A and B are shown apart, each in its own frame.
Chain A
Amino acid sequence: MANLALHAINKSFGATEVLKGVDLEIEDREFIVFVGPSGCGKSTLLRIIAGLEDQTSGEVEIDGTNVSLLPPAKRGIAMVFQSYALYPHMNVERNMGFGLRQARAPLAEIKSKVAEAARILQLEPLLRRKPRELSGGQRQRVAIGRAIVRNPKVFLFDEPLSNLDAALRVQMRVEIARLHHDLNATMIYVTHDQVEAMTLADRIVVMNLGVLEQVGSPLELYHNPRNLFVAGFIGSPKMNFISCTAQAVGEQGVTVSLPGDATITVPVVPDGVSPGTPLTLGIRPEHALLGERGGDAVLSGTALVVERLGGMTDIHIGGVGDGMMVLQAIGEPDVDVDDALSISLPAERCHLFDGDGKALTKLNPWQPRAARKAAA
Chain B
Amino acid sequence: MNKARRNLPTLFAAHGILLAYTLLSVFPVILIVINSLKSRRAIFGDPLGLPVGEGVFDLVGYQTVLQNADFLGYFANSLIVTLGALFFVLVAGSMAAFALAEYRFRMNTLMALYLALGIMIPIRLGTIGILELVVNLGLINTLWALILVYTAQGLPLTIFILSEFMRTVSKELKDAARVDGLSEYRIFFQLALPLVRPAVATVAVFTMIPIWNDLWFPLILAPGEETKTITLGAQQFIGQFETNWNAILAALTLAIVPVLVLYAIFSRQLVRGITSGAVKG
Which B residue's beta carbon lies closest to that of A152? B179
Minimum CB distance partner of B176 in chain A: A85
Q: How far is the CA of A81 from the CA of B194 in the complex (A)?
A: 21
Contact with B along A299-342 (1 / 0, CB 8 A): 00000000000000000000000000000000000000000000
Is A263 interfacial (CB-CB < 8 Å)? no
Contacts of A240-257 to chain B: CB distance below 8 A? none
B180 contacts chain A at the CB level, 8 A cutoff: yes
Please indicate which of the listed interface residues B172, B179, B195 has the most CB atoms of chain A within 10 Å of its own CB: B179
Q: Chain B residues near A77 (CB, 8 Å)?
A: 179
When chains A and B are docked, how far (Å) is the Cα of A91 from the Cα of B274?
Answer: 27
Please tell me if B175 contacts chain A, counting CB pairs below 8 Å.
yes
Contacts of B50 in A (CB 8 A): none
B178 within 8 A of A: yes
Contact in complex: B175, A73 (CB < 8 Å): no
Does A52 belong to the interface (CB within 8 Å)?
yes
Query: Known: A81-B172, A83-B170, A83-B172. Is A88-B195 also a contact (CB below 8 A)?
Result: yes
A73–B181 CB distance below 8 A: yes
Q: Is the CB of A72 within 8 A of B170?
A: no
Q: Which of A78, A87, A88 contacts B179 (CB 8 A)?
A: A78
Q: Is B191 an interface residue (CB 8 A)?
A: yes
Question: Given A52-B179, A73-B179, A99-B181: A85 and B194 within 8 A (CB)?
Answer: no
- A98 within 8 A of partner (CB): yes
Partner of A102, one of B173, B182, B194: B182
Q: Within residues 177 to 217 of chain B, which ones have a CB less than 8 A from any CB in chain A? A: 177-182, 191, 194-195
B249 to chain A, nearest CB (A): 46
**Contact A85-B170, Cβ < 8 Å, known A79-B175, A79-B176:** yes
CB proximity of B18 to chain A, nearest CB, Å = 32
Taking the complex as formed, is A1 at the interface, i.e. its CB lies under 8 A from any CB of chain B? Answer: no
A50 interfacial contact with B, CB 8 Å: yes
Of the four ranges (under 10, 10 to 19, 20 to 34, 35 or more), the interface on chain B belongs to 10 to 19
Indicate with 1 or 0, residue by residue over A65-106, a CB within 8 angstroms of chain B CB atoms: 000000111100111011111111100000000110011000
Beyond known contacts A72-B175, A85-B170: 5 more, CB 8 A cutoff:
A73-B178, A81-B172, A83-B173, A102-B180, A150-B180
13 contacts between A and B (CB under 8 A): A71-B178, A72-B178, A73-B180, A78-B179, A79-B176, A83-B173, A84-B172, A85-B175, A85-B176, A87-B173, A102-B181, A103-B181, A150-B179
CA distance A51 to B181 in the complex (A): 11
CB-CB under 8 A from B180, the residues of chain A are 73, 98-99, 102, 150
Q: How far is the CA of A84 from the CA of B176 in the complex (A)?
A: 9
Contact with A along B157-178 (1 / 0, CB 8 A): 0000000000000101101111
Does A87 lie within 8 Å of B172, measured CB to CB?
no
The residue from B179, B191, B194, B195 contacting A99, defined by CB atoms under 8 A apart: B179
CB nearest neighbor in A for B104 = A13
With A73-B180, A98-B180 known as contacts, the answer to whether A89 contacts B194 (CB < 8 A) is yes
Q: Interface 1/0s, chain A 10-34, versus B by CB < 8 A?
A: 0000000000000000000000000
> Are A85's CB and B173's CB within 8 A?
yes
Per the bound structure, the CA–CA distance linking A89 and B177 in Å amounts to 13
Contact: A52 with B194, CB < 8 Å? no
Q: Which of A38-76 contact B (CB under 8 A)?
A: 47, 50-52, 71-74
CA distance A48 to B180 in the complex (A): 16
Q: How far is the CA of A146 from the CA of B175 in the complex (A)?
A: 14
Of the candidates B172, B191, B195, the one having the most CB atoms from chain A within 10 angstroms of its own CB is: B172
> Which residues does chain B contribute within 8 Å of A47, judged by CB atoms?
175
| In contact, B175 and A87 (Cβ under 8 angstroms) | no
Q: A83-B170, A87-B191, A89-B194 are contacts. A52–B175 as well, Cβ < 8 Å? A: yes
Hey, which chain A residues are within 8 Å of B172, CB to CB? 81-85, 158
Closest residue on chain A to residue B178 by CB atoms: A72
CB distance from B109 to the nearest CB of A (A): 13
Say whether A79 contacts B179, CB under 8 Å.
Answer: yes
The 3 closest A-B pairs by CB, nearest first: A73-B181, A99-B180, A85-B176
- A156 to B, closest residue via Cβ: B179
Complex CA distance for A89 and B197, rounded to whole angstroms: 13
Q: Mark B38-60, 1 if CB is under 8 A from A, else 0.
A: 00000000000000000000000
* Complex Cα spacing A71 to B176, Å: 12
* A residues near B182, Cβ cutoff 8 Å: 102
CB-defined contacts of A146 to chain B, threshold 8 Å: 176
Residues of A within 8 A of B191 (CB): 87
Q: In whole angstroms, how far apart are the Cα atoms of A81 and B178 in the complex?
A: 13
The docked-state distance in angstroms from the alpha carbon of A78 to that of B176 is 9
A72 and B173 within 8 A (CB): no
> Which of B176, B178, B181, B194 lies at the interface centre, i.e. has the most chain A CB atoms within 10 A of its CB?
B176
A240–B138 CA distance with the chains assembled, in angstroms: 81
Residues of A within 8 A of B170 (CB): 83, 85
Residues of B within 8 A of A85 (CB): 170, 172-173, 175-176
Residues on the B chain within 8 Å of A50, using CB: 175, 179
**Binary CB contact string for chain B from 235 to 256 against chain A (1 if under 8 A, 0 otherwise):** 0000000000000000000000
CA distance A74 to B170 in the complex (A): 23
A144 to chain B, nearest CB (A): 12
Could you say which residues of chain A place their CB within 8 Å of the CB of B175?
A: 47, 50, 52, 72, 79, 81, 85
Give the residues in chain A near B177, CB-CB below 8 Å.
87
Q: Which residues of B contact A82 (CB under 8 A)?
A: 172
The complex places the Cα of A74 from the Cα of B179 at a distance, in Å, of: 8
Residue pair B194, A72 in contact (C-beta under 8 Å)? no
CB distance from A347 to the nearest CB of B (A): 49
Considering the chains assembled together, what is the distance between the CA atoms of A50 and B179 in angstroms?
A: 8
Residues of B within 8 Å of A103, CB to CB, are: 181
Complex Cα distance, B191 from A50, in Å, reads 20
What's the minimum C-beta distance from B118 to chain A, rounded to whole angstroms?
29
B residues in contact with A98, CB < 8 Å? 180
